[in-house]
Structure formats: structure tokens, C-alpha cells
Structure 1
Amino acid sequence: MQPPPQPPTRPGSPPGRPAVALSTGAVARHLGVSPNTLRSWERRYAIGPARREGGRHRRWTPQDIARLELMCRLTAQGVPPAEAARAALNAAPAAPAASSAAGPVMPGGPGPLRLGEVRPECRGLARAAVRLDAPSVAELLDTALAEHGLVTAWEEIIAPTLHAVGRTWASAGERYVEVEHLLSWHVSAAVHRIRPAPAAPHPAAPPVLLACVPDEQHSLPIEALAAALGERGLPVRMFGAALPAQALLDAVRRTGPRAVVLWSQTRATADAALARSVAGIEWGLRGARGHPALLLAGPGWGAGAPQPRAERLFGLRSGLEVIAALAADAAPSTGAGRAGPAAYGS
């Protein structure tokens, strides 16, 4: 899916900075702060827009935005907000803090958080995470989920930001691990705030069981899947990160699930023997036995053919449709013939 067109820029202006006057909401998304934060800065530090339109409507010019970018960069480097505002207001208009389309300046150094071609909301979320601005991160996540829905917000805003933070952290040791932890925690909290729909008319319907393989600590993608299934009123049993193998097998036998989703982030955690054990569990009378559909999710399972009696999930949206079809008995429980790239949530 192509990203929405970006605001035009003036020739010679730094890439990524809008050349037109923007509303407070648009500037907030551009910078990765909440509109309330911008209003607070204007009230406390007099760092507001140069002009208003239609009475009280604020319109931020490129010069206004340059001052705010400088303030954001200084606060990300640990400068108190009052001092950062004074420095931004005293900066020469012709020499604002340079902004890059690649992303914001990382704390402790000039390395950018490279995002590529993404939605403006994604850049704003990344900037807020880099500044460790927890209130703005929470507000931006809630806004994205409310405006775009869980699936679109996950695929086009949340996941690209998580990937960019993860790549930066992996390439820089543990210098930026605090950014990844803060963003992950708030994504998890935002997903958990999504209220499930009322239960389906048949409360005895078998549930969908979601779990990470043993030793796998990365559970955000299946947390998003659990919330998406809940929105559809499908029964879910969520076991989260690093579920021991025997506990998983016991849970499958006790619940008789319609499907089991096993998440593996890396090849080191993927457990083919466990997958075979789950796929081999059966119940019921001989000749009419049932078994769970085994759905392997995450890049850890590799790009080869899936396990026997297993299916590969390769995206939140498509994975949700596969599970919904299984729950409605619209697809065979073996899932044969629907293999795909193992990139779900990765």
C-alpha cells in the first residue's frame, strides 16, 4: 500500500519539513507530540505559531516548525524544556535545526532512526519514542487505533516503527534499548485497552489458543492478533511469551482448541518437534477424531514448507482471515495449500 502524499516543500528547504502552514494537529503528528503538549509549550514558554487564521485557529509556518524541531532535538538530548524553548526562540531563523526525512536524531548521538517511506503518523510515533515522551507515545497510539482500526494501525504505523527501533538497537549494541522497551510497553498497553466484542451466540465454540514457543519473549504480534480476534467476538486463550512445552501441550488437551497459533521470532527459538507434538494431538472417538489447526507465525519458522498438518500465517490481516474462516468451519483444519512467506508481524 502506497503512503499518503507528503506536504509540499519549498526548493532548498530541508527535506521532510512542510513548506505550508499547518494546523496544530498536523504539526503534532509531524513532531511526534500530542496537540496538548504543543499548547502547553505555547502557554508556558511562548513558543507558539506566528499567526492565526479565522480567529483562534493556529497555523504553524515552516519557521515555527523549525523552532519546535530544535526544541524537540534539545529535549531528546536531555536539555530541560524551558532551556530548550529559550534556545529555540533565540535561534536564527535562517539556521534552524536541520530535519531529515530519515527520522529524528537519536539520543546520545547524531544517528537517525531510519524509517523509509512511511505514513506521517509513523514518523511522529518514532520521534516521540526517541524522546522517551511516554504521554505522547500513549496518545499517538490511541489516536492511531481509534482513527485507523487495529489492523491498519498495526501494519502501517506500529509495526514499521517497532522494526525501525529494533534495527537501530540491534546495530548499536544496547545504546537505544530504552527506546525499544518504552515503545513496546506502550504498544502492549494500547492493544490491551481494546475491548473485545460480546461473545458469539455459541459460547461453547472451541477457542483459539495463542502462545509463544519456549524461550521466545517477543509476544507483541500475537497480542495484536488476540485483540483483533477479540474484536470479532472469537474466543481466545492467550498464553503470551515463553510458554513451556509441556504446559502448551496440556493446555491444548484441556481446551480442545479450534486452532493453535505458535509464534517464533528467531530461528533459535523455533521448535519443530514441539510443532509436530501439537499437530499430533487428537481427541474424540476413533474414526471421528478432531485435532487443532496448527498455525505457525513469525519469521523464526523460516521460508520452507510448513510442518505436516500445519499452516503458515504471514500477516495480521490475512492471519485474522484464516483464523476467522477456521472458526466458521469454512476451511479445513489441516490448512493444506495455504503456505506463504513467514513474515507475520516481523
Structure 2
Amino acid sequence: MEPVPQPEPPQDLPAAALSTGAVARRLGVSPTTLRSWERRYVIGPAHREDGRHRRWTPQDIARLELMCRLTAQGVPPAEAARAARDDTPATRAGARPGPVAGRPDSLPLGKVRPECRGLARAAVRLDAPSVEELLATALAEHGLVTAWEEVIVPTLHAVGRKWAAAGERYVEVEHLLSWHVSSALRRIRPAPAPPHPAVPPVLLACVPGEQHSLPIEALAAALGERGLPVRMFGADLPADALRDAVRRTGPRAVVLWSQSRTTADPALARSVAGVEWGLRGARLHSALLLAGPGWGAGAPDPRTARLFGLRSALQVIAVPAAGAAPETAAGRAGPAACGS
């Protein structure tokens, strides 16, 4: 009897083949952008799994990386795609795709999460839709604190270092990234505040002359997630307006952000720490917490304390939300009126 011929096994995909989502995170583009490039510019994966799922090989990814580099340099997408299809030495050699050390348009990131590299690449390309989508994904998957510390901050620092090293170049990258980070933080919905007992708010502001407000925007969003009321005054709040805001809101704590020593004002900190509010004969004052590298390591007044990082700031401010005030630098609890 003749043996029954067996069908040949299907050829396996390369072990390194990745899904569209994994490639998007790696390159810093949205999955929608990859599908759009495939449809418009015929720069898609060579293989599909059953059910039409795209699987990208190292050669496919090398073409995409070249297209990303060219668009970051200002080449129109159609021309970049044509060059990536027709002339990709890395693809012809079957080289494993990866960032090119010392490339002029690369950012000095060091050892960071893959999401951080993807966000940096999207920012350098000025790919606003991808920046927005990558930020939303990082916040949803990792939570605000981890996304801020391990994805957003390293990318912001890398852009800042690149700007400092390249003169006036990359200012547009920093502005685009900062705007989208701020927008993503403001989209985080605060948790409902408990109706009883009423908790006095936390006042957040940058010192006069300070324009860098993203760190306290992150703190405002994180406090809101925990149901704590916040009064955010943003960048460059004048000294008189700051003192008036403290008197009018009666906050349990005041957080002042200073990015550089040129804006940090110890005299202002002492003045705000001494602001009293409330009824005559029962004056109260708020705990003052100084945040940002501009303040240095110490505190200019015994009634003030230093904050270091978003996670530790939440431990100082949010843990005693039941009514106790944050502790001062001297280790004492703040005035009882700061929330009790």
C-alpha cells in the first residue's frame, strides 16, 4: 500500500517576530500610525498569522526604524517610506534593529524602560498623536506614580540634557512633550472627596519667576486620585498673591516648587510659613513644604520641611489625610489647624 503523503509543516516565523503593539511601544509610535503607514506607504510586515494578525520580523522593524529616523529629520513620510523600502543596509544584512549610539537625533536615555525609549523617539519626531497615546498607555498600565518616575521624568530629563548640549535645538521637542504631559496629567480624574470630615485643601504653587510646573501638576493629580482637595496655582505665582491665597483658602499644607537656585527665595519661604489665617484670637497657619532642586538639601525655617520625589511627597501629605498635618523639618507635627 502506498504511504499517504503528509502535508509539509508550515514554515515558522522568526522567533523574534513581534506583534504590532510591541513594535509600536518599541519605536514610540501608535499602532494606528503603523497601520496607516502600511496602508498608505506599503511598509508593512512580510508575514501574517492566521486571522490576519501582523507579525513584524527584525527586517520589518529595521525598515520602520529607518523611516522613523528620516521623519524625525524632517523627511516627508512618503519619501521616508520609499527610502526605507528601497535602501536599508541593516535590512539587507539581516542586522538586529536597535538604536545607533551617538546618532545626532538620539536622546541620552541610558538604562530605562522600553516605554521611555518609545516616548522619547515619538517626541523627537514631533509625533503628537503617538506621544499622547504612549503617555495614556503608560499611565493606565503602570499608574501615575510609576509612570511619572520611570517613564515621564527620564524622558523629560533626556530632552533637557539634549537641549542644553545642542544650544537652541530641541526646544520644540521639550515644549511638545511638556504640553502633552501636562494634558495627560489633567485628564486624570480625581476621586470623590469624602464629605465628612471636611479636609482643608493642599495649596500648590511655583515660586515667583518659576515656569516649570510639571512636577507639582503630577503631585496635584496624585493627590486628586486619593480624594484630597487641591488648589493649584501653577507657574510664577507672585509673592503677594501667594500669601493672599494662603489666607483665603486656609490650606492644611502649602507646597512651593522651585526648579533652580535662581528662583528659590528663603525669605519668601519664611514669610509664607508665618502667614496666619482664621478668626481673630484663634489664628492658625499651614505647614510649608518645599519641593524642587532649587531649595537645596535643607529648609530655610524650622517651620518648613523638604519634599524629595513624588512618592515620598505623597507619603508626607496624603498619609495623614484623616486630619493630622504633615510634619515639619524639626520632626514636630504642624499646627493642629492644618486639617484637624
| TM-score tier after normalising by the smaller chain length | 0.7 to 0.9
Instruction: Give the counterpart letter for 1:68 in structure 2.
Output: L
* 1:161 corresponds to 2:160: no
**TM-score, normalising length: structure 2:** 0.87
Q: Deviations over 1:144-172 (max 9, x none)?
A: 11111111110110011000001111121
Would the alpha carbon gap of residues 214 and 332 (structure 1) be closer, same or farther in structure 2, given more than 3 Å must change? closer
TM-superposed deviation, 1:50: 1.4
Query: Which stretch of the first structure deviates more once superposed, 42-51 or 176-185?
Result: 42-51
- 1:177-208 CA-partner distances (Å, limit 9, x unpaired): 00000000000011111111112223742110
1:171 maps to which residue?
Answer: 165
Q: 1:203-242 residue pairs with structure 2 within 5 A?
A: 204-242=198-236
Question: Which residue does 1:313 correspond to in 2?
Answer: 307
2:83 paired with 1:87: yes
Structure 2 partner of 1:188: 182
Aligned-partner SS, 2:203: strand
Q: How much has 1:87 moved relative to structure 2?
A: 0.8
Aligned ranges 1:273-292 → 2 under 5 Å? 273-284=267-278, 289-292=283-286
Output the CA distance in 2 between the equivalents of 1:220 and 1:90: 43
- 1:158, 1:101 → 2: CA distance? 22
Q: Distance in 1 between matches of 2:62 and 2:29?
A: 15
Aligned residue runs from structure 1 range 254-293, under 5 A: 254-284=248-278, 289-293=283-287
Distance in 2 between residues matched to 1:332 and 1:318, nearest whole Å: 12
Residues 1:101 and 1:287: Cα distance change in structure 2 (over 3 Å): farther
What is aligned with 1:328? 322
Cα-to-partner distance string for 1:245-296 (whole Å, 9 max, x where unaligned): 0000011011110000000000000010110011112245789643211110
For residue 84 of structure 1, report the CA deviation from its aligned partner: 0.9
User: How far is the alpha carbon of 1:127 from its aligned partner?
Assistant: 0.1
Higher deviation after alignment, 94-103 or 112-121: 94-103
Answer yes or no: is the 8 Å Cα contact 1:306–1:312 preserved in 2.
no
Match of 1:120 among 105, 109, 114: 114
1:78: which partner in 2?
A: 74
Q: Counterpart in 1 of 2:51?
A: 55
Aligned partner of residue 304 in structure 1, secondary structure: coil
> Computing the radius of gyration over CA atoms, which structure comes out larger, 1 or 2?
2
Gaps of 5+ in 2: 1-13, 333-340
1:151 aligned to which of 145, 152, 161: 145
CA distance in 2: counterparts of 1:31 and 1:145, whole angstroms: 18
1:23 and 2:19 are equivalent in the alignment: yes
The counterpart of 2:40, out of the listed 37, 44, 54, is 44
State how far apart, in whole Å, the 2-side matches of 1:199 and 1:40 are: 43
Alignment RMSD: 2.2
Paired with 2:60 and 2:237, the residues of 1 have a C-alpha distance of 51
1:100 counterpart residue number: 99
CA distance in 1, matches of 2:80, 2:113: 28
Residue type matched to 2:120 in 1?
Answer: A
Letter aligned with residue 65 of structure 1: I
The percent identity for this pair of structures is 83
Q: Give 1:333 deviation, angstroms.
A: 4.6
- 3-state secondary structure, aligned to 2:275: coil
TM-aligned CA deviation for residue 102 of structure 1: 5.3
Q: Is this contact kept in 2: 1:32–1:124, CA < 8 A? A: yes
The separation in 2 between residues aligned to 1:117 and 1:328, in whole angstroms, is 39
What is the TM-score of this pair, normalised by structure 1? 0.86
Contact kept in structure 1, 2:23 and 2:61, CA below 8 Å: yes
1:130 counterpart = 2:129: no
Partner of 2:9: none
SS of equivalent residue, structure 1 residue 325: coil
CA distance in 2, matches of 1:142, 1:326: 30
SS in 1 for 2:297: coil
Instruction: Give the conservation status (yes or no) of the 8 Å contact 1:50–1:60.
Output: yes
Does 191-200 or 116-125 show the bigger shift? 191-200
Q: CA deviation at 1:46?
A: 1.3
> What amino acid is the match of 1:37?
T
